[in-house]
Structures are given as C-alpha cells and as structure tokens.
Structure 1
Amino acid sequence: MNALTEVRLIAARELSRLRTKMFVISTAVMMVLVAGLLIGIKLLGGSATTVGFVEEGFGGQVTAVASAMKLELETENVPSEEEGERLVREGELDALVLDGPLRMVVKGEPDERLEAALSALAQQSALNGELVKAGVDPAKVNQAVAGAAVEVVSLEGVDELRELRLGLAMGLAVLLFIMLQASGILVAQGVVEEKSSRVVELLLSSVRPWQLMAGKVLGLGLLGFLQMGLVVAAGVGAQIATGALDLPVGDLAGTVVWSLVWFVAGYALYALLYAAAAATVSRQEDIGGVGAPIQVLLMAGYVMCFTLVPNDPDGLLVRILSFVPLFAPLLMPVRAVFGAPVWEQALALGVSLVAVGALVWLAGRIYSNSVLRTGGRISLKEAMRAG
C-alpha cells in the first residue's frame, strides 16, 4: 500500500468513534443548545408591550409617542376600566392606559419606557393647554418644536445591527473554543491510549510514525468537522424557522462558511500540537501537564474575543493578533461578523496554512522520536534530537 492509502485506513479507524455514545450524546446536546438559544431569543427578545385602552382613538396618540421613543406597542380596546384591570391582573395586558386624568394601571412594576412615553404625552398635553390659555395656536408651536433637532454627523457610520452582530460573534467564539478544545484533547487522549497500551508498537510495524499521526489527526478532524457541521446546521435550521437574528442573509451565510473554514484551520493547528505533546508522555494523567501551554494559547484567543474584539474589531492590535496563526481561528471569524475585509480573512487563512505546514514537520519529528519511548515524560529537547 502507498502512504496515502495507509493514512486513509488509519483515518477510517478513528472515524469508528462516530458510533460511540459519547459522540452522539455530545453532538445532540450542542445541537439542542444552539437551536434552543435561537428559539429562546425569538420567544423572549424584542416582544412588544401589550397595552389596553377604553377610549377609542386615544391609543393612536400613545402609539405615536411610543414609536418616536422606539417603543413597540400592541394595542387592544377593552369595554370598560373594570375589564381592563381584570386583563392586567391575569397577565393578558401589560398595562391599561386611561385618559382624563392620564393613568397607567399595571400588575406590578411599570415598564419604564412606557411610563416615560406617557409622561411625555402628559407634558405635551399640559403644554398645549397653557398655549391655548395664552392665545397661541398649539399646532404651530408643536410643528416648530418637532422640526428642531440636532444634526448628527457620524464619521464611521452607525451599525444599527451591532447588538445582534455582537451576540452572534460571542456565540461563535464559544462554539469554536469548545470544538477546538474538545477535538484537540481527543487527539491527545488517543495518542496516549495507543502508547500506554502498546497498540502503537503493533501499528508501527506496518506504517511509519508520521503516517500514524497524520491518519489519527485526519480521522478525528473529519469527526470534529462533522460534529461542527451538525451543530451549525441545527443553528441554521432554527434561524430559518424563527428568524431570531434579524441580520442580512449574506452576513449569516458568510458567518457559517467562515466558521467551518476556521474550524478546519484551527483544528489542524491545535491537533498537531496536542498530538506532539501527548507523544512525550505515557499516562493519561500527564496530558494536562503537557497540554497546559497549548490550553493557555487557546484560552488567550478566546478571552480576546470577549475583551478586545467587541470594543474595536478593526483596531491595530486586534488586526495584528488576528494574523497570528494560533489566535486567528478564534479572532478572525469573530472579526468577520463585524465586517472584516475579505482580503484580511484570506491572508490570515494563508498564514495559518503555512503554519500548519511547519507544524506538520515539527509535530511529526516529535511524534516519531517519542511515541515508542515509555516511562517518564520526554523533554522537548530530547524529542527533537532523538533518533
């Protein structure tokens, strides 16, 4: 058999984990969490305040003022004040608004935005009454007041969807972090399991060390990509069904594509590091020690997604860090949600792929020189010069 065939067979062996309960349960849980989050956003976020009115026509005035204050209302006419209070008490109405004098009846704490809108309406009504007493036409005064506004000049433009983009970016960062961490640790555990059970000695009688490492990384990578794809598909399905994220379709499609691309690049980087590190130890208990520096790097990128990127996604520091291969798989897809230029994403991906090529050589050397050595932990210096 040629080298590629041997790598393919080893990868197929790792793909047998597809049928394990752990894979099925963990995938199902993440799919439910992602879909449930979007459904929850739809059910809980952005719901209109339901307000009842006894007086016909008065609801229009309140709605107009509320709309000016960017408060969404759903209005209902009720036959009497007593009926309106009953509906409020039973939770079918958020508030009952009565005119003459202006009053708001609520079950518990009032909606502060609705209270502010009604206060503005009451103040306008009082002002109109005083203008009439003074012999001034309120319509002319109101028209002049309505036309007075500050002119806003935004140097960088206003992103009205920033909060939605921020939520999407943070969710994407969490998903990528979990998937990269879990996949990397799975690779490390597989390497140590074969080494401690001496199975690796049997395997290496038929294939070369680099082929064994490549097949393991490839097989588990396909497994991780399938899991990531299923989780993303669950999110896409929930988004199509609910429309929870009111973002342009092009932006959402780009986010899906780039998240999968960056998972592949990130997995290749971290899986190779974990495979090389795990080859230097012989016990599962030692994985935490050799994997700690890798975990710190992954955690650093994750933390920066929440601290640096939201404040200034196009800042100089963030842009520089998003080109660093071990940080790019987390930072760049999050920046992409905020509109990072395509050429920057492509360049960062190219740099990461070059780094993958360098790690293939480095990790392959460490793995080849360490995987057959048992006993205590092998230092990096020994692993590099052995053999």
Structure 2
Amino acid sequence: MSIISLIIKREFIAKVRNKSFIVMTFLSPLLFVGIAMFVGYLSSMKADTRQIAIHDESGEFVNEFLAQNKSSEEYNYQDVSSIELPTLKKSVEDKAYEGVLFIPKVKNNDALENEIQFISNESPSISFIEKTQDIIAKKMTLANLEAAHLDTLAIHQAEAKVTINLKKASGEQSLKGLNEIKIAIGGAFGYLIMMFIIIYGNMVMRSVIEEKTNRIIEIIISSVKPFQLMMGKIIGTSLAGILQFFIWAIIGLSLLFSASVFLGANVGATNQIPPEMMQSAQNELATTAQLYVAEILNLPIAAILSCFVIYFIGGYFLYSSFYAAIGAAVDNETDSQQFLLPIIMPLVLGVYIGFFTVVNDPHGTVATIFSMVPLTSPIVMLMRIPFGVPLWQIALSITLLFATFFLVVWFASKIYRVGILMYGKKPTWKELYRWLKY
C-alpha cells in the first residue's frame, strides 16, 4: 500500500473513531430537524390582530376600511368617528389601539391629500402605510372622476389587462418563473457546497495545527514527503467529512419526511375551505403543478446531480488545501483568522455572481468566465448547468478545478515543509511568499 493511502487511512479512521465525531454525526440531524420544525410551527402561528381606530370626520372613507376586515387577519378596523380625538390619543397611549387613522373634514380632496394623520406609539410598517394610502387614494380618485362627470364604469371597462403567454420556439407552452426555479436549484447546490467547505475546511486546518502543536509531525516528516503528507491528510479528512455529510442527509431527510407525514394529517383536519372551492382550486393547482413538473423533468437532472458530486469533491479538496496550508503556517486557530478572509471571499463572490448575473444572463461573459475560474466554478457552474451548458465548458471547468487543486497542494506542501517546524512566531503574508521559494 502506498504512503499516501496509509496516511488517508490513518486520517479517516482517526476522525470517524473520534467520540465527538460520532456524537455530532447522529445528534446534528436531530437538532437541525428540531429547529426546522420549531421554526415551521412558529411561522404557522397566527399573529395577534392589531386594532386600528378610524376617526373619519368626512364619513367618506370609513366603510372602505371596515370592508377590509373580511379579508384581513392582521388588522381589524373599528369606526370610532363619534369619539373625540384627544380621547383616542389617550387610548393609543394606553395601548388599547395600535393607532388612530385621522381623516379630517375638508372642502375638497385636494386639501385632504396632505392632511391625513396616523397617530401611534411606534412607527407603523411600510406595507401598512402603503396599503392605507392606496385605499384612500382609490376612493379619492373615484370621487374626482365623478366630480368631473366622467363615466367611471366606462373608464374601468376601458382599462387594458395584458397577459403575455410564453411559448418556446418549438411551439410548446412555457411557464413563468422557470428561470427562478432553475437558479434556485443551482443556487441550493452551490450554497450547500459553500457551507460544507466553510464548516469542514476548518476540520483539516485543526488537524494540521493539532499535530504541529503535539510535535507528532516532526517524527512523521522524517519518512514522508510534504506533498504526500499534505495530500493524504486532505483526502483522508475530507472523506470523513463527506461521510458525515451524507449520513446527515439520509437521517435528516428521513426525519423531515416522517415529520411532514405526521404533521400533514393534523393540518388537513383544520381546513375550513368549502368543498366546491377546494376541488376547483385543487384541479387548477394540479394542472399547473403538472406543467411545472414536466418542465423540471426536462432539465438536465443527470448532469446537475453528477456535476454536483464532482464539484462538491473538487471544490472541497481545493479549499481544504488552502486550509491545510494555513494550519501549517500558524500555531493556533487565533493566528489563522488573518488568512481565512481571502479564502472565504471567492466563495461569497461566487454566490453573488450566481444570483445577480447568472439569473439574468446565464451564458454571458461574466457568468462564463467565473464558471471557469476554479475558486468560483463550484458555485457559478452549478447555477449555470440548469440553463444548459456546452459539454466542453463543463469539461474544461472540471479540468481546471482539479488541476488547480494539485497545484495548490504542491504550493501548500512547500509552505507545509517550512511552516510545520516554525513555532512561536506569527507569520505574515510576506514570509509565506518567501517560504514558497525555499
């Protein structure tokens, strides 16, 4: 068995036999699912209905707000126009009402536009203000049209409502929002890779720092080349992390499925929608869902999944080599913080490019270039693949990714060779560059 294989085996077994590794492997999915269920439970809880007092001196707008009570569960409007405004202000101070909407009586609508007030203890949300303004504006617009002796019904009927039907060049029907679905699929895989690298890259760095602190490495490097040792540690530790990740995925998905089945039966019992409306809505939803499912099945699913595995491994190996080099250069995790930001920034850059560039122009110059750059390709290319990417671009991107991995391991081993024996000194970027020349 080769030396690299022995190092990989040693690193892998050392990690998977660690008690904390075993405990977190089975405890973490339970924590994640528990938090997800708790957040879902909190989001399903109805918020307290806020009481809004309407003091309408004109009497023209109060009915418009009272009509909102039938459709709004967040706000409940009450007509308190008969109560004096100072008394209502006192009620707001005592928190009997969330606020008071004061609409004064004026001669015409032009004078009313800047006289309406909302009195509250705390500043209301933007959405509430915009909705309130919209209700009043529509009523005032209708009154202005009637005052101008214009036929409001004719104006309403003359309003054009345009719906653009999407068609493919082949003549098949297309659907709205498919680009968003594609970027969501690619983004989910890319974001997963980024989080995995950030979480498990530190595992490689800590492993190197631990051996350096315990002086074990001084014995090991007497019979092993730095490149072999670096490669073995990266692959062995990475395989342990990948194993833990897939165990998490299997346990987590099983628990989420069980929870959804168990909670689904209880949720269905509380449905109060009339049967005929429910049936109509279900039929329409089923038809739309079938179209979207058909479109999703037309995506290059095999390419997406296979490329996810390849970029997952390649991206993690590449960034793990950076983490290992940092571990060899420092004595403790505190000193490593100055070197971590340049590693994380390309990952963040890849996410931003994916969501702000790929979604609008997946085959543009910026998206194409950064899907080739090894530091960002694991994220950007995965976001481009659902839109259809030429095979040669994928092959070139993967080749560059793994070639860069071996190149970084070679450079990192040079830092490893010098830095692993350096104690008690905090290295600088200038010193790291000088170590590469040795």
Aligned to 1:62: none
For residue 284 of structure 1, report the CA deviation from its aligned partner: 1.6
Find the partner of 2:72 among 108, 126, 132.
Answer: 108
CA offset digits 1:80-112 (Å, max 9, x no partner) = xxxxxxxxxxxxxxxxxxxxxxx99945369x9
1:352 is aligned to 2:353: no
Q: Return closer, same or farther for 1:370/1:352 CA change in 2, 3 Å cut-off.
A: same
Separation in 1 of the partners of 2:353 and 2:322?
21
Segments of 5+ residues of structure 2 without an aligned counterpart are: 45-66, 75-130, 132-160, 262-285
Q: Which amino acid aligns with 2:353?
A: M
1:256 is aligned to 2:256: no
Aligned to 1:117: none
C-alpha contact 2:204 2:237 (8 A) present in aligned 1? yes
1:192 is aligned to 2:241: no
C-alpha contact 1:173 1:334 (8 A) present in aligned 2? yes
Q: Return closer, same or farther for 1:210/1:27 CA change in 2, 3 Å cut-off.
A: farther
Separation in 1 of the partners of 2:257 and 2:367?
29
Separation in 2 of the partners of 1:187 and 1:108?
53
Aligned to 2:436: 384
Separation in 2 of the partners of 1:235 and 1:336?
26
Q: Which amino acid aligns with 2:432?
A: L
Aligned to 1:319: 368
Aligned to 1:337: 386
Segments of 5+ residues of structure 1 without an aligned counterpart are: 45-102, 113-147
Q: Which amino acid aligns with 2:185?
A: L
1:305 is aligned to 2:357: no
Q: Which amino acid aligns with 2:242?
A: F
Q: Return closer, same or farther for 1:346/1:285 CA change in 2, 3 Å cut-off.
A: same
Separation in 1 of the partners of 2:253 and 2:409?
34
Q: Return closer, same or farther for 1:164/1:149 CA change in 2, 3 Å cut-off.
A: closer
Aligned to 1:78: none
Separation in 1 of the partners of 2:388 and 2:14?
37
For residue 32 of structure 1, report the CA deviation from its aligned partner: 3.4
User: SS of the residue aligned with 1:198?
Assistant: coil
Separation in 1 of the partners of 2:163 and 2:297?
34
For residue 231 of structure 1, report the CA deviation from its aligned partner: 5.0
Aligned to 1:170: 187
Q: Which amino acid aligns with 1:226?
A: L
Q: How does 1:112-191 map to 2 (within 5 A)?
A: 161-191=178-208
User: SS of the residue aligned with 2:358?
Assistant: coil
Separation in 1 of the partners of 2:412 and 2:432?
11
**TM-score of the superposition, structure 1-length normalised?**
0.62
Find the partner of 2:420 among 371, 379, 385.
Answer: 371
For residue 344 of structure 1, report the CA deviation from its aligned partner: 1.9
For residue 211 of structure 1, report the CA deviation from its aligned partner: 2.7
**Higher mean C-alpha deviation, range 278-287 or range 235-244:** 235-244
**Higher mean C-alpha deviation, range 268-277 or range 23-32:** 23-32
For residue 266 of structure 1, report the CA deviation from its aligned partner: 0.3
Aligned-residue RMSD, C-alpha: 4.0
Indicate the percent of aligned positions where both proteins have the same amino acid: 27
Q: Return closer, same or farther for 1:260/1:151 CA change in 2, 3 Å cut-off.
A: closer
Q: Return closer, same or farther for 1:254/1:30 CA change in 2, 3 Å cut-off.
A: farther
For residue 366 of structure 1, report the CA deviation from its aligned partner: 1.4
C-alpha contact 1:27 1:230 (8 A) present in aligned 2? no
User: SS of the residue aligned with 2:372?
Assistant: coil
Separation in 1 of the partners of 2:178 and 2:318?
33
1:221 is aligned to 2:238: yes
Separation in 1 of the partners of 2:36 and 2:304?
16
Aligned to 2:20: 20
1:3 is aligned to 2:3: yes
Q: Which amino acid aligns with 1:167?
A: A
